[in-house]
Structures are given as structure tokens and as C-alpha cells.
Chains A and B, each alone.
Chain A
Amino acid sequence: MEKTESITEIAEIEEFYGKDMATRDAYGMILAQLGSKNPNIVVLDADLSCSTKTVLFAKQFPQRFFNMGVAEQDMIGFATGLALTGKIPFASTFAIFASGRAWEQVRQSVCYSKANVKIVATHGGITVGEDGATHQALEDIALMRVIPDMTVIVPADAYETAQCVVEVAKYQGPVYVRLGRAKVPAVMPKDYKFQIGKAYIFRLGKDVNIIATGIMVYESLRASEELNNEGIDTGVINLSTIKPLDVETILSVAKNSKLIITAEEHSVIGGLGSAVAEFLSEEYPIPIKKIGVKDCFGCSGDYKELLRFYGLTKENIINTVREFFKK
């Protein structure tokens, strides 16, 4: 019953390496694979299975897939009950509904009972695009991070997503995974091994280090290339687990930096930037600049235009760094 190991065989996971694809697509594929390895995995969705990609699991394992209809609060409660009878429920819907509509169910039923529920939310952030503000979760990391015993993960690409889902299935306890709608470039190296709670250092800079999550890891890597060319020694860290915070890595990175940049596709209030700032302000206060959405709602538009509109770009990171070092 406990056998989930075989899926981690490199042959299967490696198929996701180097693939430019939406993290939700990687989720759907790996979840369907996991389903054949572990009969205890059950999947719930709230009428969005074609968008969250749980439909791939549903097609292969219809007897272990449960559509709850447009009823997110009930879905989270249902998942709690399934977890308490020994199942490993993956509950998926859009990030705004999983973290917002069902917030209190996540707090009271899931986390307060320490139920082994995996909430994998897709359509996090501004890259939802044309649907606009009602469907763009810019607060979900904050909402989930504040609940005791919750683990919060935002993978950067398909390869990391696939590894993350496998690890999350093995982990005992509530987890919130935030995925995206739009295709994202592959960023993680082939020898990368995802661990819950462990940040990944691409490169450590002597001047500035960018701590990023999700799609902003790619933007940060591109920004760092230009900054390094300009002579500003820039590093990039992928902080995919936002809770529990990898305080060791953050502290050692901070001690190596004149400036820390945080970059996330989320409000600057309460997310990755806040988590890093909360920790460093007490343990090692150094200058921090937060790249994120500035306390406002999103809006409709092509997602690439939206990223530019809200400053979620390498250009904004570069300008922020230049501005700091000009002083």
C-alpha cells in the first residue's frame, strides 16, 4: 500500500526535464502516473478537471476520481474525510477558490485536524490572463502560509512540478501546491532533486541575490545574466517551498549579499517577499526589494502583456537592482 517509490525512478521523472510546459500540465500527467503506482491516491475536482488537468487521472481511474461540482468548500471537507480513512486525496481547483472560497475549511477541517490532504491549485497568479481579477489569485500564498501546519510550494517549471507532486504524495500532512495556467520555460537542471523545504541556489552573487518563486525564477535568471554582464555580481535562488521557509539557505545567502531581491507572481503583501523579509528583518537585516503585484487587483489581458503591466519582468528586476546600486 505504501509503494510510491517506483515512480521516482529517474526514467519517468526525467521525461519532464527540459520541457517548456504549463505546470498544470505536468501535474495532470504525473498525477495519472502516480495513480497507477499508489491505489490510495484519490482525486477530487470542483468542475474544473479539464483546466486543472486532473481529467487525465479521471480518465484512467474513474473509480478514484470524484467531481464535487461547483462546491469548493464541500470538496475540501470531503477530501478531509477521505484522508482520515487513509486515502491520499489530491483536491484541485483554481487557486482563488481553493485558497479563498474554501479558506476556512482548509484551516478548520484540514489543518486543525492535521489531515493528509493535498491541495493542488492551478491558475495561480496574474498569468490566468483574459479571465481577469476574479480568477487571478494574487493572495493565495499569503492565505495558505498563515495557517499552522500548512506546507506551501510553488514549483518553477514542469520538471520541478513533477518531482514536487511525487514528494507531496509521500509526505504526511496538509500541503498547498500552487501551479500556473500558462506555459513556462524549463529552468531546473537535470541533476536537480526537489526536496520539501529546500531552496535551490542556481548561482550565489556577491552583490545581489534574487530569491524567486514560480515563473519569476525564469525572469530572475534572465535578469541575472544581464546584471552580471554589467558587473553587478548577481545570484538566483529558487525558493519553491515558501513554508516551511529554508531559513538556513536564506541566511547564508543574505550574509553574502548587499541586496536581496524577492520576485513572485503574487501580491507583495504576505507572499514570498514577506516571508523572506519577516525572517531577515529579525535575523540579519539587510536591504530587500520586493518584486510582485503592488497591492491591487489584476485585470484582463494577454498574460505576457499582464506580466509587463504589473512589472513581473526581468526588466523591472534589472531596473530595481540598478537603482539600488546607483545610490
Chain B
Amino acid sequence: MVDIEFLKEKARQLRVEIVKMLAQAGSGHTGGSLSSADIVSALYFYKMRHDPKNPQWRQRDRFVLSKGHAAPVLYAALAISGYFDKSLLTTLRKLNSPLQGHPCSRSLPGVEVSTGSLGQGLSVACGMALGLKLDGIPAKVYCLLGDGEIQEGQVWEAAMAASHYRLDNLCAIIDNNGLQIDGACHNVMNIYPIEDKFLAFGWNVFTIDGHNMEEIVRALDEADKVKEKPTMIVAKTIKGKGVSIFEGKVKYHGIAPTYEELQIALKELSDGKN
């Protein structure tokens, strides 16, 4: 049985760590880290088979954070999973920290590939999925993309290749919070309809509420049943989700909470617990 309350609690813990580490760092991407916290919770604490004590375990499921600027949510998930001590989170973005501004696989165990330049992660995830198939390893590859990110042409090259090579062990998720640095996605460069595009590229597509844990879990489970096609989960989310002063605000795409904002955030996140 899936313990939905447990996953919600983990998502809350992720959000707490995200705002704390960002405030400490003084810079970084708040909105997109918070919007993907529920998805990442479901992946790291329910869906993915992984071993924090053995990050290179060959049979593990892989996670590629294509929207690398949401590094805090990944770091929080790795720390809470036990890949490294939580105290390391306070070093985010500091000189000599393995927690680089964007994920770096050469410095931090648990990071599968370095990301941060948008549009590149899905291709890498496809290559991983293919490599696992070639070796007969029944593991899955999960790839989290931003919605603004799909403006990158390489995403569509990868989308074409994923269905061409029938990568049904690949499950991508778009954190569709609708906002990018310069404004609303449909104003900056319209990305909609997302679903129709991926359907046309030969993908299986689910659309879910990216903050509804039951829906996230169900979509991830359903994706396992789809054969011969990769799955795209379009997760409708709210940028900055979980902290009222950040929610739906473009401004918080690329800035960290101030000390005062952190206090508000921590209060709201602990109130939400009860």
C-alpha cells in the first residue's frame, strides 16, 4: 500500500530544506524547486528503487533533473534519502561545496549527470534508458523537465528519438508551473498545447495535478504498464507551491528567500503539517 500521508510529509520536509538552503545560500531558484517537491517526493520516497549507500548500484532507477536550476529539490531529496548528511545542505552554492548551483555529477554522489543548461537532460535520459535495455536491466529512467525548457529544440529531437527507439522504460515529467524567468510561458513563447505535441511525437501522455499525491503516484504506476512507448506526465503545478508569498510569482523563479521570508515560509510549512 502506498502511504500517501508519508509522501506528503516527505514533500513538506523537502520544501523546508529547500527554503532553508536557499535562504542560507542567498541566491538560487525558489519557485521551480518548490513546484516540483511533490513529484520528487513521490519518486524518491515511493517509486524509485535506489540505494543511498550504493549510488552506483547497476539495477537502480535513474533520475535526471533536466531542469537543473531546481537543484535544491534534488539535494534535499538526496540528503533526506541518506546519500549525504543534511548539514551539507548549508554549503549550497559556496566555494568548494559539492552542491553546485546546478547539479554536478562529478562532485556529488547520487547526481546521475550534470545538468543546468536547459534542454539537454531528456537526451541523456533517453541514452540511459537505451543502455539499460541493452543490458537487460529492468530499471526505469525518470526525467524532470521545466515547462519553459521545452522551448529548447533539443527536447524535441529527444522526444522523437525516445518514441523511435520505443523507450518504455523512460518516464518524463514536465513541471508545468506555467511561468519562466521573463513571464508566463504562453507570453514568452507559447508552449501549449503540450499534450498534443507529445502525443504527435508518439508518446503516452498523462495530465495530472502535480500537487495531488494520489494522482502523482497513480500516474507513475500507470506509466509502468505502458509498453513500446515512453510516457510523459504533464504535471500542472504552482510555482512556489507551499509558501503563499512565493506562489504564482514570476519574481521567485530565480531569487532566494530573505531571512524574513524564510521565517514566513517555515511557519507556513510547519502549519501545513497540522
Contact = CB atoms under 8 A, between A and B. Distances in A.
B192 interface: no
Contacts, number: 110
Interface stretch (A106-114, A128-136, A162-170, A221-229): A106-114
- Chain A contact-residue range equals 20 to 34
Interface stretch (A9-17, A69-77, A247-255, A304-312): A69-77
B160 A108 contact: no
B68 to A, nearest CB: 9
16 contacts: A74-B157, A74-B158, A74-B161, A77-B120, A77-B122, A81-B113, A81-B123, A81-B131, A82-B131, A83-B127, A84-B112, A85-B127, A86-B135, A113-B106, A113-B114, A114-B106
Instruction: Classify the secondary structure of B's interface with A.
Output: helix
A64 B165 CA distance: 12
Interface of B: 58, 104-106, 112-117, 120-132, 134-135, 137, 141, 153-154, 157-158, 160-161, 164-165
A79 B126 CA distance: 9
Nearest to B130: A82
Contacts of A77: 120-124, 126-127, 154, 158
B130 to A, nearest CB: 6
A200 interface: no
B113 A115 contact: yes
A68 interface: yes
A82 B62 CA distance: 13
A74 to B, nearest CB: 4
Contacts of A73: 120, 123, 153-154, 157
B66 to A, nearest CB: 10
Contact of A81 (B58, B106, B125, B153): B125
Kindly name the residue among A64, A71, A85 whose own CB sees the greatest number of chain B CB atoms within 10 A: A85
A42 interface: yes
Contacts of A54: none
Please classify the interface of chain A as helix (H, G, I), strand (E, B), loop, or mixed, using the class held by over half of its residues. Answer: helix
A114 B161 CA distance: 23
Interface string A313-324: 000000000000
A108 B122 CA distance: 13
A105 interface: yes
A3 B234 CA distance: 44
A104 B117 contact: yes
B106 A80 contact: no
A86 B131 contact: yes
A85 B128 contact: yes
A38 to B, nearest CB: 13
